[in-house]
Amino acid sequence: MTVASPASLYSDLDVEWTLDAPLAPHTWYGVGGRADVLIRPRSLEALTTLVRRCRRDDVPLRVLGSGANLLVDDEGVDGVVVKLDMPFFKAVEWNVDGRVERLRAFGGAAMEQLVQQCARRGVRGLEQMSGIPASVGGAIRMNAGGKFGAIGDAVDAVAVLGLDGEVRVYPREEIHFGYRHTSIPHGIIVWASFRVAEDDPIACRERVLEIFAYKKSTQPMGAASAGCMFRNPTMPDGKVESAGRLIDLAGMKGTRVGAAIVSPRHGNFLAFDKEWNIGTDEGSAGASSVASRTDDMRRLVEMVQDAVRAKFGVELETEVVFWRRGERP
């Protein structure tokens, strides 16, 4: 598929589309190329039909969440990119089935807003996601979380639109939630229900603020990054070690490749220096233009992996997802 391709995949559907769409504004890194077409469905029916047609015509289809865990290649991506940010896919339904023990959020709902809504309503169960930027669907797909727990701790059921265009609901008992991993089959997460409980709204807000304050004090949250770049690895002795600590001990904090830099504050945060410009004395040998910043980050990732491998004999796997033109999603 190219930008000039006929719009037969989507022109008759209830969607909004943008050809040759810039993806950088949709990611936390704020860099990267364009999508052949960015499609925003208004309904589940439109999304289902689009998925079936993409499969029929062998067109690559990617789902763009909040962009908090994504680095798009400078050359962009081919095929279709779907963004679930229309009202239908951002809905949150409280007290599903009339019980306070359940709520349902659709895949495009913002995790940060959902956590705040829960706190205001005195609903406990998702506060561990405080300070973690993600869409609900993206957070569930990778079982996002941190020191205080993961989203899988609260999941009750997940509805997934498969590549065959069928929606299947998977109860919690059929899903394995591991470290930054779930057993949910490939497809688009349409909605998830969560097990929650009533609590004092003041206590809920205080817990959310406590967790957020901890994250703010330990992570460079204002940096142009996508959060932690690497998963915490399992060491030869079987212990899970902090990737940030290994990067620090390998002497990589502050290491720079063009516009990309390992945060001096937290080794597992690889960020872009917005002030980095061609022509500076420091960068004259390897400074980069905006158009090549993703290459800088890719090279820096490899350098960090090489350094940790050489010192500790372990492989660091990226938590951030890389999109490249020509690669199947």
Mark which of 44, 71, 87 sits at the end of a domain.
87
**95 and 208 both lie in a single domain:** yes
**214 and 251 both lie in a single domain:** no
- Would 156 be classed as within a structural domain? yes
Instruction: List own/partner pairs for 202-205 with CB under 8 A and 24 or more apart.
Output: 204/118, 204/119, 204/120, 204/122, 204/123, 204/124, 204/127, 205/119, 205/120
- Would 70 be classed as within a structural domain? yes
Q: Which residue is catalytic, options 204, 228, 231, 293?
A: 228
Q: Which residue is catalytic, options 40, 127, 293, 319?
A: 319
Residue 204 designated active-site: no
**255 and 139 both lie in a single domain:** no
Q: Which residue is catalytic, options 180, 207, 265, 299?
A: 180
Per-residue pLDDT of the chain (329 residues; tens, 9 = 90+): 444 445 889 999 999 999 999 999 999 888 899 999 999 999 999 999 999 999 999 999 999 999 989 999 999 999 999 999 999 999 999 886 666 678 999 999 999 999 999 999 999 999 999 988 899 999 999 999 988 999 999 999 999 999 999 999 999 999 999 999 999 999 999 999 999 999 999 999 999 999 988 887 777 655 556 678 999 999 988 899 999 999 999 999 999 999 899 999 889 999 888 666 544 444 433 434 444 678 899 999 999 999 999 999 999 999 999 999 988 88
**266 and 286 both lie in a single domain:** yes
Residue 54 designated active-site: no
Residue 118 designated active-site: no
- The boundaries of the domain holding residue 28 are 15-87
How many domains, the chain? Answer: 3
C-alpha closest to that of 271 among 318, 231, 302, 228: 228
**What CATH number is associated with residue 56?**
3.30.43.10
- Would 3 be classed as within a structural domain? no
**What CATH number is associated with residue 170?**
3.30.465.10
pTM of the model: 0.88
Mark which of 68, 87, 106 sits at the end of a domain.
87
- Would 229 be classed as within a structural domain? no
**70 and 100 both lie in a single domain:** no
**142 and 104 both lie in a single domain:** yes
**76 and 127 both lie in a single domain:** no
**105 and 175 both lie in a single domain:** yes
